[in-house]
Amino acid sequence: MSYPFNMGDLRDSTSVMNRYLSQNQGGKVPFDDLIYIFGEIMYGGHIVDNWDRILCNGYLENIMTEKLFDECELFPYIEGKGFSFKVPG
């Protein structure tokens, strides 16, 4: 199924995340809050299939952790394939 995600979704998500991180200033990152906002509201609001929603939230729960700040490999099963997509440090 195709969903109408667009650059506005990405821009708004970035804005929300920046606001959360700037208000937090050195405290614990509220990953649970951000996962809910992105997975159930911002992007999740477009998702109509329950299995797609579960998959989206699974990706968010895997990626949005403290390891995100350790140059996490966003495609973890591509070792030896000649390419990489890491979170910038």
Alpha-carbon gap, residue 67 to 65, rounded angstroms: 5
- Which residues have a Cβ under 8 Å from the Cβ of 21 and sit 6 or more positions away? 29
Q: Are 34 and 20 in contact (CB under 8 A)?
A: yes
Whole-model pTM over 0.75: no
User: pLDDT tens digit string along 21-59?
Assistant: 788 776 788 889 989 998 888 888 889 999 999 999 998
Domain boundaries, the chain: 7-70
% residues pLDDT > 90 (the chain) = 16
Instruction: Please say whether the beta carbons of 47 and 3 come within 8 A.
Output: yes
Q: Which CATH number fits domain 7-70: 3.40.50.2020, 2.30.30.90, 1.10.8.720, 3.40.50.300?
A: 1.10.8.720
Please check whether residue 46 is in contact with residue 3, taking contact to mean a CB–CB distance below 8 angstroms. yes
